[in-house]
Chains A and B, each alone.
Chain A
Amino acid sequence: MSAPNKSYDPVEVEALKPEVIERMRDEALAAFAAAADLDRLQEAKTAHTGGTSPLALANREIGALPPQAKADAGKRVGMARGAVNKALAARQAELEAERDARVLVEEAVDVTLPHDRVPAGARHPLTTLSERIEDIFVAMGYAVAEGPEVEAEWFNFDALNIGPDHPARGEQDTFFVEGADAASDGGSAADSGVVLRTHTSPVQIRSLIDREPPVYVICPGRVYRTDELDATHTPVFHQVELLAVDEGLTMADLKGTLDHMVQELFGGEGMKTRLRPNFFPFTEPSAEMDMVCYVCRGESVGNPDRPCRTCSSEGWIELGGCGMVNPKVLTACGVDPEKYSGFAFGFGIERMLMFRHNVEDMRDMVEGDVRFTRPFGMEI
């Protein structure tokens, strides 16, 4: 760089003449504009803003000028360089955007390609429906109670006021378990006192025996009856039973609890239950419970223009049995029937799955075909 020269006439420095600087600037701008891609722009950048570019060289000359001329020239060169840099940045951004647009287009894929590398699994709808029902009652403060599937007759029958002569104890319904030593002595096989539980009610008995009232439990589980598998029967099926024992419980409480359940399970307006008198040994009074058909909400009754397949235009769907716990059952469990009363109900999960999800054949729920189960996913 030259030393300051106070006598130097700026006009005499060719490179700092205004028109020259303007030309340098214009050349740079033109070069940037002409750069077709980022590589060209890089070359133009080096040529017009690099250390040896005309403007950079001109800038060096400024130091040699007298103070007044130095200011003028500095301002001129500075403005020119500012304009050049701005144009460069703009063009840079423009070309980068162009490049990005092009590359990203090139990288585009078909996002509709399937990706079933590991097909999804699923839980069985009988499991998830049972859990769904459990959750309704757990939210109300009930506990989920479980018990053995191979059960003592005392729990399955006697304690439930199903005496030794009750028809339900006949061979037509119950799977009897051979005694431990039946094989060796060949006899008394049927007298082992052990059966495959025919309902989840023995869990209610166990709950009443194990817990101090108040007892509020929901008992889901597998149960067994000697029915051959067909479109509407299965020897192995699932029940959910509920038991509430407390001071002052009434049939109105039973009705309200059932209403709450069907509202939670089927949602919406007008879901309710209906009780019809019936007989069960373990409840007195006893009732059969129906719920309003959740599809037609009763509007198909007497309305041939709008028939309902779900309820056969009956308006009601049969759910199961219920009633006030028979005081004899409380007594057998050591609960004072003078002080406590209770209600109970039970129904089959298979049946509910059938009408809630339009399952037409019981075998579909039993055979474990993955095509049936997969669509049900994780929850129901």
Chain B
Amino acid sequence: MRVPLSWLREYVDLPATETGRDVQAKLVSAGLEVETVEQLGAGLKGPLVVGKVLTIEELEGFKKPIRFCTVDVGTANGTGEPQEIVCGARNFAVGDKVVVVLPGAVLPGGFAIAARKTYGKTSHGMICSGDELGMGDSTALGGDGIIVLPPEHEAGTDAVELLELVDEVLDIAVTPDRGYCLSMRGVARETATAYGLPLRDPALLDVPAPNSFGYPVRISDPAGCDRFTARTVTGLRPDARSPLWLLRRLQKAGMRPISLAVDITNYVMLELGQPLHAYDRSRVQGTIGVRRAEQGEKFTTLDGAKRVLDAEDLVITDDRGAIGLAGVMGGANTEIADTVVDAASGEAQGTTDVVIEAAHFDPVAVARTARRHKLSSEAARRFERGVDPQAASAAAQRTVDLLVLLAGGTAEAGVTEVIAPSAPHTITMPADHPDRVAGVAYGRETVVRRLQQVGCDVYGQDSLTVTVPSWRPDLAEINDLAEEVIRLEGYENLPSTLPKPPAGRGLSGRQRLHRRVGRALAGAGYVEAPTYPFVAEQVFDQLGLDADDPNRRVVKLVNPLSDEEPALRTTLLPGLLATLRRNDGRGSHDLALFETGLVFHPAAEGTALASAPPVDRRPTDEELAALDATLPEQPRHVAAVLTGAREQAGWWGKGRPSDWADAVEAARTVAREAGAELIVQQGQYGPWHPGRCAELSVYLESAEAADGSRGDIVPVGHAGELHPRVIKALGLPARTCAMELNLDVLAEAGEGVVRAPRISTFPVATQDVALVVDQDVPAAVVEAYLRDGAGELLEGIRLFDVFTGEQLGEGKKSLAYALRFRAADRTLTVEEASAARDAAVARAAETTGAVLRGA
């Protein structure tokens, strides 16, 4: 809502020294979001006067048409002689009244005017356009060209005052609960309260009593329309134009002047907040009705759009059918006609008789219709937020008065008012409720006074009976009333106290794990990169997933930002790899990135909700379960990707490229933080290089697991080098590596409380063995059997070398292990250590075919 300060002063006697910024501060404190205060005509300095065009000489020989004019500016130029002005605009003729700026003046934006030579003439000033004067849309005053004023204004009249060029406009973002502030009346009421000044309520008009000979109206749907006032004005002069003051107020309020009748209805809407509609009476046939539309009914709104109506849409009708979408937009079929001037006779033809509608419609019906037809109008905005039903007849009267005054019309005596009976809304509230909400002792007297300022009637002592004013349908509950009291007493005056929550338990284990995982990966050199979860389904082809891979089943958006990416991720890799590619493209070639975040797997089919639970009670556990069943599974994953050097080359020596093992190590780092033992096995999965893919799993306790078992082995993810085809398809650097884990499963697999190991202080006995096995025997398997065979004397085992070579034979590899033995109670003899080693080797030999090298 744009509120010109000059207009506001009509209803509240603000001190002359109050600026727009002052009023802004007061209104902000009262809860109106005054976003800006626009300074109209800032820096404007006259002389700026009305001029009458006396002569026009077309200058030839220039690239564009140029006119040399003489203009009568009265005595404003000091001489009374015609003013000579060069002008490039063409939308005026001899005899027209225009706005002339004379040398010495300054236009908004610091544009100083002086006599200057141009096109071979001297131009003593300028004929102005609306833009140059900072007036906003000036279509009604000459459109894109210069302003052409109505003829009644005398040459030489000061145009700064005439056009009200200097003003301040408050731009207020009106919240949904304050529909009444979409009017000058409402903003004036808040201003009056904020300043403690009386309000001149523009809705206090003498309105004739309704009678039976007004325009016939029949309401078939009183729930959709509980009030309808109709008034008729006849004999409008089609050539009557909106006066400057009216145009300027509309312009400042941000509305485009259209025609006198429409401008008047808009003006009254801005003033009183009541949307109005003017029908061309000659085009309305019979009784005006209000009903719901028929499903599929066709109707053309006055913006020219053909619309197919829904059975819920509320329509205004005449005997032929719909003539308006109630509270949203009128119809083309009864639109006020544009005035057309007959070229031969010079006579203006246009609408002469109008029916004025001032009605009150159901906010929900209007909101739904506006949304259904994607048709947002000034009227709909107001009805959605609540219009004062009691102001309808005053608004109709005001419109009639202005039509009579400005268009020479005659008000018909008939006054139609159809009103569905309703009682004013009352609320019972303990008098100290605002005190308890605020934590401030206002006292009953203050509470009552503030509510009265809002317009409420208040009765009672400890328990107040509050009747809310008709323009505040938002005041429905006791907390609404508390807010009114507290905001008028000033939110800024609230004290600052701290509640005392019961003792807390800190972060949950899961939350601590998520932080640890982030720190551990960052500590290992990875940079966190949260990515958007939107993916294209083609990415699963690029990732090489099988046709039946469960990760191809996605949750889809109805209205994605990009039709290219309608799905939600089932893996973190697409986002993270895109981020890697972006960084690489920007010149960072050595990269290690990670992300933790949710992935989404569709809920089972047939879980759609029959109906949402009500909100007047807690949902039952069954209702809650049904709600949750509609949701996808949303586990938290962690992923890491690498490319380029893992270790940089430098003065210390060579660098090391990142490889599959780094990806596996990243997974181990995460598992370590989770306290879970990560089982690494050779695997094969779409995105990964078939020979360089680790399948990762953990032991998960299960109810069915046998005693002594470590539980079920549950897969948690993969790590390794990406498949060359994937790297090519996604445009990644060669040898890019990645890992992804299900963090939720990993968290469950955590071992819990660590039991301290017993530390033996006896000396260690070390034994190295090199075992030759087939190439395809996993080192992890060999190690597991060595451990198994070595028995409890084994303290540690470490693979320190892997070797292949001709001397081993085709398809063989040598694994060299360092075994550390120690006893808890004695120093081991060489024989004991050797025996343990031999047992370990024997076990590995019998299970994996390992042969002790050099044996």
Is residue A131 within 8 Å, beta carbon to beta carbon, of the partner chain?
yes
Question: Of the candidates A149, A228, A279, which one forms a contact with B175 in the assembled complex, judged by CB atoms under 8 Å apart?
Answer: A279
Is residue A274 within 8 Å, beta carbon to beta carbon, of the partner chain?
yes
Is residue A72 within 8 Å, beta carbon to beta carbon, of the partner chain?
no
Question: Of the candidates B568, B583, B617, which one forms a contact with A334 in the assembled complex, judged by CB atoms under 8 Å apart?
Answer: B617
Is residue A102 within 8 Å, beta carbon to beta carbon, of the partner chain?
no
- Within the complex, the shortest CB–CB distance from B570 to chain A, in Å, comes to 12
Nearest residue in A to B627 (C-beta to C-beta)?
A: A152
Is residue B176 within 8 Å, beta carbon to beta carbon, of the partner chain?
yes
Q: Are A256 and B498 in contact (CB under 8 A)?
A: yes
Q: Are B627 and A155 in contact (CB under 8 A)?
A: yes
Q: What residues on A are CB-neighbors of B600 within 8 Å?
A: 149-150
Is residue B528 within 8 Å, beta carbon to beta carbon, of the partner chain?
yes
Q: Are B511 and A144 in contact (CB under 8 A)?
A: yes
- Within the complex, the shortest CB–CB distance from B23 to chain A, in Å, comes to 15
Which residues of chain A from 156 to 171 have a CB within 8 Å of any chain B CB?
158-159, 161, 165-167, 170-171
Nearest residue in B to A244 (C-beta to C-beta)?
A: B499
**C-alpha gap A370/B529 in the complex (Å):** 8
Is residue A285 within 8 Å, beta carbon to beta carbon, of the partner chain?
yes
Nearest residue in B to A374 (C-beta to C-beta)?
A: B527
**C-alpha gap A138/B533 in the complex (Å):** 29
Contact with A along B436-447 (1 / 0, CB 8 A): 111110000000
- Within the complex, the shortest CB–CB distance from B511 to chain A, in Å, comes to 6
Q: Are A259 and B496 in contact (CB under 8 A)?
A: yes
Q: What residues on B are CB-neighbors of A255 within 8 Å?
A: 494-497
- Within the complex, the shortest CB–CB distance from B376 to chain A, in Å, comes to 10
Question: Of the candidates A144, A152, A249, A367, which one forms a contact with B631 in the assembled complex, judged by CB atoms under 8 Å apart?
Answer: A152
Q: Are A150 and B555 in contact (CB under 8 A)?
A: yes
- Within the complex, the shortest CB–CB distance from B579 to chain A, in Å, comes to 4
Q: Are A141 and B528 in contact (CB under 8 A)?
A: no
**C-alpha gap A143/B606 in the complex (Å):** 35
Contact with A along B505-525 (1 / 0, CB 8 A): 111100100010011011111
Q: What residues on B are CB-neighbors of A49 within 8 Å?
A: none
Q: What residues on B are CB-neighbors of A165 within 8 Å?
A: 364, 367-368
Q: Are B630 and A152 in contact (CB under 8 A)?
A: yes
Is residue A101 within 8 Å, beta carbon to beta carbon, of the partner chain?
no
- Within the complex, the shortest CB–CB distance from A318 to chain B, in Å, comes to 11
Is residue A304 within 8 Å, beta carbon to beta carbon, of the partner chain?
no
Please tell me which stretch of A16-24, A39-47, A60-68, A188-196 contacts chain B, meaning at least 4 of its Cβ atoms lie within 8 angstroms of it.
Answer: A188-196
Q: What residues on A are CB-neighbors of B616 within 8 Å?
A: 331-332
Is residue B308 within 8 Å, beta carbon to beta carbon, of the partner chain?
no
Known: A131-B515, A178-B558. A252 touches B612 (CB 8 A): no
Q: Are B30 and A277 in contact (CB under 8 A)?
A: yes
- Within the complex, the shortest CB–CB distance from B709 to chain A, in Å, comes to 33
**C-alpha gap A250/B480 in the complex (Å):** 15
Is residue A200 within 8 Å, beta carbon to beta carbon, of the partner chain?
no
Q: What residues on A are CB-neighbors of B628 within 8 Å?
A: 152
Nearest residue in B to A155 (C-beta to C-beta)?
A: B627
B368, B597, B618: most-surrounded residue (chain A CB, <10 A)? B618
What is the size category of the interface that chain B forms with chain A? Answer: 35 or more
Question: Of the candidates B495, B526, B532, which one forms a contact with A252 in the assembled complex, judged by CB atoms under 8 Å apart?
Answer: B495
Contact with A along B383-405 (1 / 0, CB 8 A): 01000000000000000000000
Known: A193-B630, A279-B178, A369-B582. A327 touches B477 (CB 8 A): yes
Known: A118-B525, A285-B486. A332 touches B479 (CB 8 A): no
Q: Are A189 and B523 in contact (CB under 8 A)?
A: no
Nearest residue in A to B523 (C-beta to C-beta)?
A: A121
Q: Are B501 and A214 in contact (CB under 8 A)?
A: yes
Q: What residues on A are CB-neighbors of B592 within 8 Å?
A: 121
Is residue B220 within 8 Å, beta carbon to beta carbon, of the partner chain?
no
Is residue A103 within 8 Å, beta carbon to beta carbon, of the partner chain?
no
Please tell me which stretch of A25-33, A92-100, A122-130, A353-361 contacts chain B, meaning at least 4 of its Cβ atoms lie within 8 angstroms of it.
Answer: A122-130
Nearest residue in B to A257 (C-beta to C-beta)?
A: B498
Question: Of the candidates B436, B437, B568, B647, which one forms a contact with A118 in the assembled complex, judged by CB atoms under 8 Å apart?
Answer: B647
Please tell me which stretch of B222-230, B648-656, B768-776 contacts chain A, meaning at least 4 of its Cβ atoms lie within 8 angstroms of it.
Answer: B648-656
Which residues of chain A from 168 to 197 have a CB within 8 Å of any chain B CB?
170-171, 175-183, 189-194, 196
Q: What residues on B are CB-neighbors of A142 within 8 Å?
A: 501, 504
Q: Are A279 and B176 in contact (CB under 8 A)?
A: yes
Which residues of chain B from 229 to 284 have a CB within 8 Å of any chain A CB?
none
Question: Of the candidates B175, B496, B568, which one forms a contact with A272 in the assembled complex, judged by CB atoms under 8 Å apart?
Answer: B496
Which residues of chain B from 750 to 806 have a CB within 8 Å of any chain A CB?
none
Which residues of chain A from 332 to 359 have a CB within 8 Å of any chain B CB?
332-334, 341
Q: Are A181 and B605 in contact (CB under 8 A)?
A: yes
Is residue A299 within 8 Å, beta carbon to beta carbon, of the partner chain?
no
Q: Are A278 and B175 in contact (CB under 8 A)?
A: yes
**C-alpha gap A256/B500 in the complex (Å):** 11
Q: What residues on B are CB-neighbors of A198 within 8 Å?
A: none
- Within the complex, the shortest CB–CB distance from A220 to chain B, in Å, comes to 10
Question: Of the candidates A144, A178, A216, A251, which one forms a contact with B437 in the assembled complex, judged by CB atoms under 8 Å apart?
Answer: A251
A117, A175, A371: most-surrounded residue (chain B CB, <10 A)? A117
Q: What residues on B are CB-neighbors of A146 within 8 Å?
A: 511
Question: Of the candidates B477, B523, B609, which one forms a contact with A152 in the assembled complex, judged by CB atoms under 8 Å apart?
Answer: B609
Contact with A along B476-488 (1 / 0, CB 8 A): 0101101100110
Q: What residues on A are CB-neighbors of B619 within 8 Å?
A: 154, 209
Known: A122-B527, A170-B371. A150 touches B631 (CB 8 A): yes
**C-alpha gap A214/B502 in the complex (Å):** 8
Which residues of chain B from 290 to 339 have a CB within 8 Å of any chain A CB?
none
Question: Of the candidates A121, A277, A286, A331, which one forms a contact with B521 in the assembled complex, judged by CB atoms under 8 Å apart?
Answer: A121
Q: Are A118 and B646 in contact (CB under 8 A)?
A: yes
**C-alpha gap A378/B364 in the complex (Å):** 50
Is residue A287 within 8 Å, beta carbon to beta carbon, of the partner chain?
yes
Nearest residue in B to A196 (C-beta to C-beta)?
A: B557
Which residues of chain B from 591 to 619 have a CB within 8 Å of any chain A CB?
591-594, 597-598, 600, 602-609, 612-613, 615-619
Is residue B13 within 8 Å, beta carbon to beta carbon, of the partner chain?
no
Nearest residue in A to B613 (C-beta to C-beta)?
A: A154
Q: What residues on A are CB-neighbors of B508 within 8 Å?
A: 143-144
Known: A196-B557, A278-B175. A324 touches B31 (CB 8 A): no
Q: Are B498 and A369 in contact (CB under 8 A)?
A: no
Question: Of the candidates A120, A285, A331, which one forms a contact with B482 in the assembled complex, judged by CB atoms under 8 Å apart?
Answer: A285
Q: What residues on A are CB-neighbors of B178 within 8 Å?
A: 279
Known: A115-B652, A180-B602. A140 touches B609 (CB 8 A): no
Q: What residues on B are CB-neighbors of A260 within 8 Å?
A: 498
Is residue A201 within 8 Å, beta carbon to beta carbon, of the partner chain?
no
B367, B495, B499: most-surrounded residue (chain A CB, <10 A)? B499
Is residue A37 within 8 Å, beta carbon to beta carbon, of the partner chain?
no
Question: Of the candidates B498, B532, B647, B655, which one forms a contact with A236 in the assembled complex, judged by CB atoms under 8 Å apart?
Answer: B532
Question: Of the candidates A114, A288, A327, which one forms a contact with B479 in the assembled complex, judged by CB atoms under 8 Å apart?
Answer: A327
Q: Are A284 and B477 in contact (CB under 8 A)?
A: yes
Known: A148-B634, A276-B491, A378-B519. A117 touches B498 (CB 8 A): no
Q: What residues on B are CB-neighbors of A115 within 8 Å?
A: 650, 652
**C-alpha gap A114/B652 in the complex (Å):** 10
Known: A180-B605, A257-B499, A277-B30. A121 touches B525 (CB 8 A): yes
Residues of B within 8 A of A (CB): 28-31, 33, 175-178, 364, 367-368, 371, 384, 436-440, 477, 479-480, 482-483, 486-487, 491-492, 494-499, 501-508, 511, 515, 518-519, 521-533, 555-561, 568, 579, 582-583, 586, 588, 590-594, 597-598, 600, 602-609, 612-613, 615-619, 624, 627-628, 630-632, 634, 646-648, 650-652, 655
New contact pairs (13) apart from A193-B609, A368-B579, CB-CB < 8 Å: A117-B650, A152-B612, A177-B556, A178-B558, A192-B608, A216-B499, A228-B561, A256-B499, A260-B498, A276-B33, A279-B175, A285-B482, A378-B519
Q: List 24 A-B contacts (CB under 8 A).
A: A115-B652, A118-B647, A124-B529, A134-B507, A141-B501, A141-B504, A144-B508, A148-B634, A152-B609, A152-B627, A152-B630, A154-B612, A178-B558, A180-B603, A180-B630, A191-B608, A253-B497, A256-B496, A277-B491, A279-B176, A279-B178, A287-B491, A368-B582, A369-B582
For the complex of A and B, 3 pairs with smallest distance between CB atoms:
A334-B618, A277-B31, A250-B439
